[in-house]
């Protein structure tokens, strides 16, 4: 029962351009959404989050958009940098105790 | 300020054996969650411990059990290991009752032969 889906396993963009990572969910009870970044041999690192009562949250180069009616979440990175190359996981929280993760999208930013 | 630490980093076991993985939460955190990440997948929630009790559990069999100690550190135990238990096991800590995100350790890579 995969309640959080990242349908693109990989994404490649040119340095300086925008990266858009997408995530879809099925459970309307999720109250909080997060993006994590993961480098090889390291644990996921928190990047940015958004409450279900908001539709946008911005932190520097990173912006997360939430469309509740479409049950869709996206992460925008602009401008993209080579150091952003990593696997990005979308996560949704249920009742403050249980987080569900997508399968991840591997982002490659080319110089 | 130490982050989440997990031990060991790698472990090799055979089918039927039992294993214990350990986690020390980030300083100031009192809640520990465990996740299993299979190759090519996202982390799957196993369970969460708070105040030394299991507060929430994902869809994992009873072979998976855990414990939280008074100093908030935690152990994950897996009995009767199966080949399918081969995965990266991640521990995450947080401060209960807040919206602060979970912080992850680097994980324990468990291989079952």
* Nearest CA-CA distance, residue B8 and chain A, Å: 13
- Determine the residue of chain A that is closest to B107 in CA distance: A43
Q: What is the DSSP letter of B26?
A: P
Contact by Cβ (8 Å): B99, B57: no
- d(Cα B58, Cα B89) in Å, to the nearest integer? 14
- What is the pLDDT tens value at each position of chain B, 113 positions in all? 679 999 999 999 999 999 999 999 999 999 999 999 999 899 999 999 999 999 889 999 999 999 999 999 999 999 999 999 999 999 999 987 666 789 999 999 999 99
Which residues have CB under 8 Å from A53's CB, separation 6+? Answer: none
Cβ within 8 Å, pair B56-A98: yes
pLDDT digits (tens, 9 = 90+) for B44-71: 999 999 999 998 899 999 999 999 999 9
Q: What is the dihedral of CA B78, B81, B82, B88, to 10 degrees?
A: 50
Closest CB from B40, B41, B101 relative to A46? B101
CB distance A52 to A65 below 8 Å: no
Residues A74-111 have pLDDT tens digits of 999 999 999 999 999 999 998 766 889 999 999 999 99
């Amino acid at each position: 029962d995969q309640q959080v889906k990242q349908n693109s396993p990989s994404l490649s963009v040119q340095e300086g351009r925008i990266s858009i990572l997408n995530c879809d969910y099925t459970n309307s009870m999720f109250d909080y959404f997060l993006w994590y970044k993961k480098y090889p041999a390291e644990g996921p690192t928190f990047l940015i989050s958004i409450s279900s009562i908001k539709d946008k949250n911005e932190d520097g180069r990173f912006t997360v958009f939430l469309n509740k009616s479409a049950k869709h979440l996206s992460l925008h990175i602009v401008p993209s940098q080579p150091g952003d190359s990593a696997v990005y996981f979308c996560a949704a929280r249920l009742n403050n105790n249980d987080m569900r993760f997508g399968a991840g999208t591997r982002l490659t930013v080319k110089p | 300020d130490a982050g989440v630490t997990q031990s060991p980093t790698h472990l090799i076991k055979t089918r039927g054996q039992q294993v214990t993985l350990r986690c020390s939460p980030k300083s100031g955190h009192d809640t520990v969650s465990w996740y299993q990440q299979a190759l090519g997948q996202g982390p799957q929630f196993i369970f969460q411990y708070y105040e030394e009790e299991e507060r929430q559990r994902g869809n994992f069999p009873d072979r998976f059990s855990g414990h939280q100690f008074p100093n908030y550190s935690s152990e994950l135990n897996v009995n009767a290991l199966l080949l399918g238990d081969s995965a990266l096991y991640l521990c995450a800590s947080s401060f209960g009752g807040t919206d602060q995100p979970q912080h992850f350790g680097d994980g324990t890579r468990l291989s079952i032969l």
